[in-house]
Amino acid sequence: MDIYRDLFAGVETIGILALQGDFELHEEALGDRGLSAVRVRRVSELTEIDGLIIPGGESTTMTRLIDKIGMRDPLLNFSGPILGTCAGLIMLSKEIEEDRDRHGVEPLGMLDVVVRRNGFGTQIDSFADNVKWNDGTTNEGVFIRAPRILEIGNDVEVIARWNDEPVAVRQGDIVGLTYHPEVG
Amino acid sequence: MTSRWTDEKIQERMKLKIGLAEMLKGGCIMDVTNAEQAKVAEEAGAVAVMALERIPADIRSDGGIARASQPKMIKEIQDTVSIPVMAKCRIGHFAEAQILEAMGVDFVDESEVLTPADEKNHVDKYDFNVPFVCGCRNLGEALRRIGEGAAMIRTKGEAGSGNIVEAVRHMRQVQEEIRKLTVLREDELMAEAKNMGAPYHIVLETAKLGKLPVPNFAAGGIATPADASLMMQLGAETCFVGSGIFKSNDPKPRAEAIVQAVTYYDDPAKLLEISMELGEAMEGIDVAGLPESEKLSSRGW
């Protein structure tokens, strides 16, 4: 299962949120598939794209920048497909488990899941292992200080698992992954 | 015996180490000395904090032996923030690094800011699960550190000086030497590796990539949004800010401004807007007047 090809099939211009994080690795991943992307750092640039990737990085940093530059509402109103990886999933989620993430920021709430940041621990607990998609295919997932999905809303479908745990979820045109398909 | 450059387990681990460095790109990593500062840094949008007992400006003025920070103080910071926590060990002091790893810090900085523990050898960083960042003044030094297993390189600059001149020198030097590698014939690269004192296989890889094989960050003397922009325009992928924030007269807005300056480093109008309301930067010192023996950047081999 190639989530880039699946989610962005027929999408004319893919944008990558480039406020902070590994947006270059997503550009390379798209390039490997013969797809191109533009970087989005300003509110006005959201109107020029048809699909969006929110990359890995620090969700607190990116969310604070989004609020500082007034990008929250334009993101909530964005109508194309959105892929969030790691920090991107955290930002899309409805809720961040707050008792652990004392200084968590307000997520966008576009994906009806509850997540736990740094769900496996610190960097020395980061790992790579196979994830299994619903269509039976597997690919390597790189989990770096990865979040965990704790609760899933009724309209959300689990589309890939690691062991029995959900690591990729989809709600309509919005997909969130706890790992990094762009690293590897 | 398998070599560490072909050993799959070690290479798999390198992927995770470099992966975290990739996540920190386009951000600002701030030096903090207590939980309160760490909170200010996190709220300002830092991508990580560097936990240390004294910021470089104070290490410089206080003198004495600068060692790895007390675990208790690092633990308090780990309990306060949810962003990655880095900590420094002395050059070559692998036992300090082992303790930092046991604490679960996210990155170890084998740093010239602390007093070196070994005058010949750096830490064998492949031995660790925790990733390392190391400073450099030139490409040879950068590639030696990568050869030892560093997952991120930063300029040394001159820590605690509030003076950007050394970081500029080091970044320009590294970039110039990389550009040179890309135009040499492949049969000239062994001689160049010999000249630089750098591992041949990493020289080859760098020549092919046209950039370092690990993320390349700036550190040492960044005090203003313009300093951060300058380093990013010269090729840095993230900025470490040490004394520049908590030695300024109003740390929070300065921290927020530098975070934005890294994102919008190539947009002068935006840089103007975020620089407008800032108070005084740290005072700083003229590096040219520093005797060689007082330069922190000359530590490391």
The answer to whether B88 is a known catalytic residue is: yes
Rounded Cα distance between B247 and B58, Å, is 9
Cβ-nearest to A20 among B27, B39, B84: B27
- What does the pLDDT read at residue A70? 97
Q: What confidence category does residue B280 fall into, taking pLDDT thresholds of 50, 70 and 90?
A: confident
Residue B256 has pLDDT above 60, yes or no: yes
State yes or no: pLDDT of B39 exceeds 70: yes
Contacts of B118 (CB under 8 A, 6+ apart): B91, B92, B93
- Mean per-residue pLDDT, A15-44: 97
Using alpha carbons, list the distances in angstroms from residue B116 to A125, B113, B138, B144, B299: 29, 8, 19, 17, 7
Instruction: Identify the three-state secondary structure at position B39.
Output: helix
Asked about A12 being catalytic, the answer comes back as: no
Instruction: Quote the CA–CA distance of A138 and A124 in Å, as a whole number.
Output: 24
The pLDDT of residue B101 is above 90:
yes
pLDDT for res B50: 97
Tell whether the model's pLDDT for residue A102 goes beyond 70.
no
A123: closest chain B residue by CA: B106
Res A101: pLDDT: 55
The confidence band for A103, taking pLDDT boundaries of 50, 70 and 90, is low
Asked if A20 lies within 8 A of B81 by C-beta distance, the reply is no
Count of Cβ atoms closer than 10 Å to residue B1 Cβ: 4
Q: What is the mean pLDDT of residues B82-104?
A: 97
Other CB atoms closer than 10 Å to residue B157's CB: what's the count?
Answer: 31
**What is the pairing mode between strands A157-162 and A148-152?**
unpaired
Query: Above 80 in pLDDT, residue A98?
Result: no
Q: What angle do CA B154, B37, B215 make, to 5 degrees?
A: 20
Mean pLDDT confidence for B261-288: 89
What would the two tokens of residue B72 be? Answer: 């208790």
B-chain residues within 8 Å CB-CB of A144? Answer: 16, 19-20, 23
B15 pLDDT higher than 70: yes
**pLDDT of the residue at B2:** 62
> Any idea which residue has 């740094």 for tokens?
A118
> Is the pLDDT score of A99 beyond 70?
no
Q: Which residues contact B218 (CB under 8 A, 6 or more apart)?
A: B154, B155, B157, B167, B171, B228, B231, B232, B234, B236, B238, B239, B240
A131-174 confidence digits (pLDDT tens): 999 999 999 999 999 999 999 999 999 999 999 999 999 999 99
| Structure tokens that stand for A5 in this block | 């090809």
Half-sphere exposure of A120 (CA within 13 A, CB side): 18
For residues B255 and B45, give the distance between their C-alpha atoms in angstroms, rounded to a whole number.
Answer: 8
A window 10-49, beta carbon within 8 A of B: 18-25, 41
Q: First vs last Cα of chain A: how many Å apart?
A: 16
pTM: 0.95
Evaluate whether ipTM surpasses 0.90: yes
Q: Categorize the per-residue pLDDT at B94 as very low, low, confident or very high, splitting at 50, 70 and 90.
A: very high
Residues of A in contact with B85 (CB under 8 A): 122
> Which pLDDT belongs to residue A104?
63
Distance of alpha carbon A47 from alpha carbon A15, whole angstroms: 10
